[in-house]
Amino acid sequence: MSLEFDSILEYQTFMLSLQRQVGRREKMASSLAAAVQADERAPFLEILPADNMRPPVQTRVTFDPEAEVLMLDTVGDILVDGARYRVLLHLKEEQKLAVLVTGVRPHQ
């Protein structure tokens, strides 16, 4: 799976916003109470279904800065191979739009 953006600027703002949010969350998680509160405000990705037959799937997002990989907890049961889904990254103060691509699509 991969995420696609309309421009390099959109990709950069998406990743910077995510990294800032994750960094704030890690700094706050020094105590158990703070960890619970930080987890409630953790960034999450909303995967919008392609067919409106199912509700959107929300999944927690984590970013591994060493591997530079975005990890999702779950994708639910709405994804199929070779498809594109609109997704919203929900941060504390903003939302970012992207496209989730599953598998390689044949050229037409």
Q: List, for residues 18-65, the tens digit of each pLDDT value.
A: 777 766 545 544 555 555 555 566 788 898 887 778 888 888 887 777
Predicted model pTM: 0.69
Residue 99, pLDDT above cutoff 70: yes
Residue 92, pLDDT above cutoff 80: no
Residue 68, pLDDT above cutoff 70: yes
Residue 88, pLDDT above cutoff 70: yes
Q: Would you state the pLDDT for residue 96?
A: 85
Q: For residues 95 and 73, which has the higher predicted lDDT (pLDDT)?
A: 95
In Å, what is the CA distance from 12 to each residue of 1, 36, 65, 105? Answer: 19, 29, 14, 25
**Integer Cα distance of 106 and 64 in angstroms:** 30
Looking at residues 89-101, what average pLDDT do you find? 85
Q: Which of 49, 84, 45, 82 is nearest to 62 (CA)?
A: 45
